Amino acid sequence: MKKFLFFALLCTVACGRQSDTPVYLDPTADIEDRVEDALSRMTLDEKIAAIHAQSTFSLPGVKKLGIPELWTSDGPHGVRPEVPWNDWGNPGWNNDSCVAFPALTCLAATWNKEVAGLYGKALGEEARFREKDVILGPGVNMYRSPLCGRNFEYMGEDPYLAGKMAVPYIKGLQSNGVAACVKHYACNNEERHRHKTDVELSERALREIYLPAFEMAVKEGGAWSMMASYNLFRGTHCCHNGYLINDILKGEWGFDGVVMSDWAGCHDTEEAVLGGLDVEFGTKVGKKMPAGESVYDIYYLARPYKEGILSGKFSEEGLDDKVRRVLRLTFKTAMNLDKPFGSMCTPEHLSVARKVAQEGIVLLKNDGDVLPVKKGGKISVVGENAYKKMCIGGGSSMLKPVYEMSPLEGILEKAALENMEVVYSRGYVGDTTTTQDGISSFQKLADDRSKEELIAEAVENSRDADYVIYVGGLNKSLYQDCENRDRLEYGLPYDQDELISALAKVNKNMTVVIISGNAVAMPWIDEVPSVLLGWYGGSEAGRAIADVLFGDVNPSGRLPFTFPVKLEDNPAHYNGKTFPTRGKNHYDEGIFLGYRWHEKMDIKPLFAFGHGLSYTSFEYGDVTLSSKMIRNGKISIGVPVTNVGKVAGSEVVQVYVHDCEASVEMPQKQLKGFDKVYLEPGETKTVSIELGPDAFRFFDEETMTWKTEPGDFEILIGSASDNILKTVTVAL
């Protein structure tokens, strides 16, 4: 309601001013006319104020014109709890809980664009209700190393998958008048030294691997804002990087939105001004200001910028471009009369959270059809992650959920319906911290028992159980899945490998559920028959995991990144490379990231990109093509898929392309299309996928342009990158 009052003030100001110029501040006028009119009425001080923070999360607006403050909030998995004006503490609100949606790795694992749209729309409704104008997400940086602490906020190792899943998320979010702020532009692939890491990589790798998801977010998703990353790129911080921001983002892609700094990512006035940064947030000034003045006044894009304009060092025209972008964003969000009112913590939003979590869960292994759990008998549940809440933690993406259903609670709920006995054993003790920024999960995690005592209890409780369900993995503590830190090891922490092996020795009817946003080593993989990847599932995590374990939902998630057997199999760690890197970081693997690398080097992964099992089976029929020739860079593919099992389920049809005659080195295959299809037992549907010109090109570093060469291309169709079922050859 408060923002509608600004429109009354706006009309009062406009109508009371004598001018021959049309008053385009009328909210029904064209946005570009409103932008120019507002800009013409602003003083230099008002323009400067518009492009830097006035608080931890807001811009000031222009009071005399009735232009309200612009409020941002951390995402990308939910609306962050409120913080005080100038810090990151807890102001003690009791009405800032939210629905916690699954982490973006889980969303990417759904391989379902429709579900991504539902996710974005529900998140946007919650943000709208909380009067947030910009959600800081989604994250689309590439998964380069399994040790990167922020991988759980991103969408995997493949730029096509990440981009195609981000686009509907962005559209759904922005349909509520809430801007997406796509992050972190670009090459943010490690956390520990993120302010010092200087990425060096080939132009081809930049264009083919690290930028396409951002480009899709702009050109297909219509993103209204973008966040520049902390790291340097070719010697210049990304928040000041004119090549990335001015030349590519604003120039080649035609981006007309706001480029904002990551919090404390701006380091220099001249570089920021000339490098294309539009808005500065979070700079740590570290100075005590005179009475009546604010630290925000001496931000790099504040007083120093104004002084540079007055001295003639900088032009006011450059400032005007930045202000136009902020005004444009404000008119689309805070002053958007067509935006809905929003809603918060509704059954519909919780249903979306549960559906995303269900569809993202990946069944990695299921020898002997251990899953789904057969009804009746005793279940031994083991592991701290069965009980531990995961939304409090992880850094900036931490949430204050209206509730968080744990895996243990979900299993107990299902077991009660089937009159099954459940016994729980802690198994191991990890990080017992239960608060972040003053927000608590209200759990008691302290346990003084020794490792030997914990293992002995778990083994004894599991020996005569009909089923053992181990729930472990990582958590959102520092040095695990957490912003600002990277993992210290590829293996599971807290001696979990020893515990899993001990359980496997006494009961072979065992499922390991991994809670994680990252790949992990599994030295015990041959000892256990069943492995499920549960991700960080948000408010409905426990119910979603139980739905899959008990067979109420057929798992349909597919891996958005490769699981290497050992860390050294990953290109960021291959041949003794160090990670994380302080200083120059050479991406010597070039375009060969993830599955591209494993196939180039003939390194068998633990689990391949795109891998995921089902409780049913599918068969692919003969492929049909619109033509044997690729004309105008396009070709349509039809693939009949039949559910030949006994239960309904969803299959993800994946289409890869191999260039048979390229003049440059190419990957063995690259994902260029996918679709998810739901089938009843015995049902057949034809999946139709169109490949466009982007599927057949590469970036030519000699001409600095995209290039498509005539010749033969193989179209590879399958259910995973290592499970190609159909191959057809076409000519361009």
Buried b (16+ CB within 10 A) or exposed e, 617-647: ebebeebeeeeeebeeeebebebebbbebee
CA-based radius of gyration for the chain: 26
pLDDT, tens digit (0-9, with 9 covering 90-100), for 688-730: 999 999 999 999 999 999 999 999 999 999 999 999 999 999 9
- The Cα 290–Cα 564 span in angstroms is 56
The domain containing residue 548 runs over which residues?
A: 347-561
Q: How confident is the model at residue 24, as a pLDDT? A: 67
Answer yes or no: are the C-beta atoms of 717 and 623 closer than 8 Å: yes
Q: Which pLDDT belongs to residue 8?
A: 39
How confident is the model over 222-266, as pLDDT tens digits? Answer: 999 999 999 999 999 999 999 999 999 999 999 999 999 999 999
Structure tokens that stand for 36 in this block: 């120019």
Instruction: Compute the distance between CA of residue 709 and CA of residue 171 in angstroms, rounded to an integer.
Output: 34
Examine the domain organization and report whether 301 and 379 are in the same domain.
Answer: no
Same domain, 244 and 380: no
Q: pLDDT grade, residue 18 (50/70/90)?
A: very low
CA distance 182 to 165: 13
Task: Give φ, ψ of 425 to 5 degrees.
Answer: -125, 135
Residue 557 confidence (pLDDT) above 90: yes
Residue 70 scores a pLDDT above 80: yes
Each residue's pLDDT tens digit, 410-461: 999 999 999 999 999 999 999 999 999 999 999 999 999 999 999 999 999 9
Domain stop point among 273, 302, 332: 332
How much is the mean pLDDT over the chain?
95
**Residue reference for tokens 């409120």:** 82
Report yes or no: 453 and 410 within 8 Å, Cβ to Cβ. no
| CATH number for 647 | 2.60.40.10
Q: Phi and psi for 269 in degrees, rounded to 5?
A: -65, -50
- 280 and 396, same domain (yes or no): no
| Catalytic residue list contains 497 | no
pLDDT at 23: 55
Q: What is the dihedral of CA 211, 214, 216, 217, to 10 degrees?
A: 180
Indicate whether 637 belongs to any domain.
yes
Q: Give DSSP secondary structure letters for 191-227.
A: STTTTT-EEE--HHHIIIIISHHHHHHHHTT--SEEE
pLDDT of 20 over the 50 cut: no
Q: Identify whether 294 is part of a domain.
A: yes
Q: Looking at 133, 262, 486, 659, which residue is catalytic?
A: 262
Cα of first residue to Cα of last residue in the chain, in angstroms, is 57
Per-residue pLDDT, 285: 80
Same domain, 68 and 39: yes
State the pairing for strand pair 378-382/421-425: parallel
pLDDT higher than threshold 70 for residue 7: no
User: Which of 276, 308, 332 is the last residue in one of the domains?
Assistant: 332
Same domain, 190 and 71: yes
Is the residue at 687 inside a domain? Answer: yes
628 pLDDT band, cuts 50/70/90, is: confident
Length of the chain: 732
Q: Which of 620, 497, 594 is nearest to 148 (CA)?
A: 594
Residue 117 falls within a domain, yes or no?
no
Q: How many domains does the chain fold into?
A: 3
188-202 burial, b if ≥16 CB within 10 A, otherwise e?
A: bbbbbbbeebbbebb
In one-letter notation, the amino acid at residue 123 is: L
**Would you say 143 and 156 are in contact if contact means Cβ atoms under 8 Å apart?**
yes
> Residue 662, Cβ neighbours under 10 Å: how many?
14
Residue 108 lies in a domain: no
State the pLDDT confidence band at 289, using cuts at 50, 70 and 90. confident
What average pLDDT does this structure show over 84-105?
95
Q: What is the CATH number of the domain that holds 150?
A: 3.20.20.300
Q: Give the rounded percent of residues in the chain with a pLDDT score beyond 70.
A: 97
pLDDT digits (tens, 9 = 90+) for 453-482: 999 999 999 999 999 999 999 999 999 999
pLDDT digits (tens, 9 = 90+) for 592-608: 999 999 999 999 999 99
Q: Are residues 210 and 278 in the same domain?
A: yes
Q: What is the C-alpha separation between 333 and 555, in angstroms, rounded?
A: 38
Q: Are residues 656 and 524 in the same domain?
A: no
CATH of the domain at 356: 3.40.50.1700
Percent of the chain topping pLDDT 90: 92
Mean pLDDT of the region 522-533: 98
Pairing of strands 618-620, 179-185: unpaired
Look at residue 12 and tell me whether its pLDDT is greater than 70.
no
What does the pLDDT average to over 610-629? 96
321 and 439 part of one domain: no
Domain endpoint, select from 332, 359, 375: 332
Residue 363 β-bridge partners: 532, 613
Q: Are residues 327 and 379 in the same domain?
A: no
User: Average pLDDT for residues 588-594, to the nearest whole number?
Assistant: 98
Q: Is 569 a domain residue?
A: no
For the record, the structure tokens of 467 come out as 């089923």
The per-residue pLDDT for 1 is 38
Render 566-605 in DSSP notation, one character per residue: SGGGSTTTGGG--SS-SSEEE-TTTT--THHHHHHHT---
Is 568 inside a domain boundary?
no
Note whether residue 362 is domain-resident: yes
Return the H-helix or E-strand segment holding 305. Answer: helix 303-310
pLDDT at 375 over 80: yes
Same-domain pairing of 387 and 325: no
Do 325 and 369 belong together in one domain? no
Q: Give the model confidence (pLDDT) of 559-575 as tens digits.
A: 999 999 999 999 999 99
DSSP code at position 694: G
Q: Residue 9 pLDDT > 80, yes or no? A: no
Per-residue confidence at 15, pLDDT binned at 50, 70, 90? very low
Are 323 and 383 contained in the same domain?
no
Secondary structure element (H or E) that encloses residue 388, with its range:
none
0.85 surpassed by pTM: yes
Give me the helices (H) in 55-132, please. 104-110, 113-129
Distance of CA 45 to the CA centre of its chain: 37
Helix (H, G, I), strand (E, B) or coil at 657: strand
